[in-house]
Structure 1
Amino acid sequence: MNCGIAIFPSKEIQDFANSYRKRFDPNYNRIAPHLTLREPEAWSWNQLSSAADHLEQVTSTITPFDIHFNRFSSFYPAGNVIYLALSSPDPLLKAYKVICSGELAENSRPYHFNPHLTIGQELGDDELHDVLASLKKIELDLTSRIDRVHLLYQTDNQAWTVHQTFLFRGV
């Protein structure tokens, strides 16, 4: 089964993101707005169980933190993706290094980890540029407290659901 690890921001930010995702993201109805920490990968039940054990252990060392979205951005030309960008990705980068370590290390990741919340993807070049030009005019000031991470799996209808949630328990 396909599994992954993600963080969900506050309901306020999810609602804001969904106001765009329903128009610009074909995966809108498959998963709530999120920040991916570990890309989807096919795992056995044993790997899922092992990942849960790892997350239970490492989340005891992570202290809850705040994230702040301050702008719209894009991965163009690498990909036609529009996303909410963070003013400082450092807290998420630190959490990523702890969570995606040991058996959950992503040694073959084809790109540098860039925490973000996707609001549009699979757009044509012209549409991407038009939408992004409009969005860049909008001022963003959205903050969310992050105190947990979720181990997800993909269902038969291609939707993603939470298998287990792990609270950050560091001091």
Structure 2
Amino acid sequence: MKYGVVAFPSKKLQDLANSYRKRYDPHYALITPHMTVKGVFEASDSEIEQLSTSISNVVKRHKPFKLHATRVSSFSPVTNAIYFKVEPSEELINLHEDLHSEEMGGKAEYAFVPHITIAQKMSSGEHDDIYGQLKMVGVDHEEIIDRLHLLYQLEDGSWTVYETFRLTGAEN
């Protein structure tokens, strides 16, 4: 089964993201706006139990962190995805690294670019038009994230919460 670890932003930021996603993101109905902290991975039922315990141990070492969406950006030309850029705070980077230790399946497949996707899978022309418009509108939103969610993918392609973990923040 496919799993991933995400942080869900507040309803206010989700509503803003969804105002674009419902028009520009074919995954709109499959998953709530989110910031991926550990990308998609495969695990069996027995493996996910162990991984869930490991995630629980990781989050106990991390305090809640500030999510600050500062601008609209794009992964073009690699992919025509547009997103809210989230500032990579030290707390967030450390959390990401801890979720990619050897015990947790090793290094991430891609460089960590904290973001919330608002548009994807568009033609290049459509991407360029929409990206230009959204860059002008921009975003500036700050909030505190105090929990992470382990999600799994259902047969219809949608994602749902398997387990939620609070960032309790033992001092390092």
Please indicate, yes or no, whether the TM-score normalized by the shorter chain is above 0.5.
yes
CA spacing shift, 1:92–1:138, aligned 2, 3 Å: same
Distance 1:102 1:57 in 2: 14
**Partner of residue 29, structure 1:** 29
Name stretches of at least 5 consecutive residues in structure 2 with no aligned partner: none
* Amino acid corresponding to residue 159 of structure 2 in structure 1: W
Distance 2:147 2:108 in 1: 25
Please tell me whether the aligned partners of residues 89 and 115 of structure 1 are also in contact (alpha carbons under 8 angstroms). Answer: no
CA spacing shift, 1:108–1:69, aligned 2, 3 Å: closer
**Partner of residue 140, structure 1:** 139
**Partner of residue 158, structure 2:** 159
CA deviation vs aligned residue, 1:100-125 (integer Å, no higher than 9, x gap): 2232244361x211111001110110
**Partner of residue 17, structure 1:** 17
1:50-69 counterparts in 2 under 5 A?
Answer: 50-69=50-69
Distance 1:74 1:34 in 2: 16
Distance 1:168 1:80 in 2: 33
1:99 is aligned to 2:99: yes
TM-score normalised by structure 2 residue count: 0.93
Instruction: Name the SS for the 2:9 alignment partner.
Output: coil
**Partner of residue 71, structure 1:** 71
**Partner of residue 120, structure 1:** 119
> How big is the shift at 1:89?
4.3
Distance 2:129 2:107 in 1: 36
**Partner of residue 4, structure 2:** 4
Q: Which runs of 4 or more aligned residues in structure 1 lie more than 4 Å from their structure 2 counterparts after TM superposition?
A: none
Please tell me whether the aligned partners of residues 100 and 107 of structure 2 are also in contact (alpha carbons under 8 angstroms). Answer: no
RMSD: 1.4
Distance 2:36 2:77 in 1: 20
Percent same amino acid at aligned positions?
A: 38
> How big is the shift at 1:16?
0.6
CA spacing shift, 1:90–1:75, aligned 2, 3 Å: farther
Please tell me whether the aligned partners of residues 67 and 91 of structure 1 are also in contact (alpha carbons under 8 angstroms). Answer: no
Q: What count of residue pairs does the alignment treat as equivalent?
A: 170
CA deviation vs aligned residue, 1:53-78 (integer Å, no higher than 9, x gap): 00111111101111111110000011
TM-score normalised by structure 1 residue count: 0.94
* Amino acid corresponding to residue 112 of structure 1 in structure 2: A
Name stretches of at least 5 consecutive residues in structure 1 with no aligned partner: none
CA spacing shift, 1:94–1:107, aligned 2, 3 Å: closer
Distance 1:126 1:92 in 2: 34
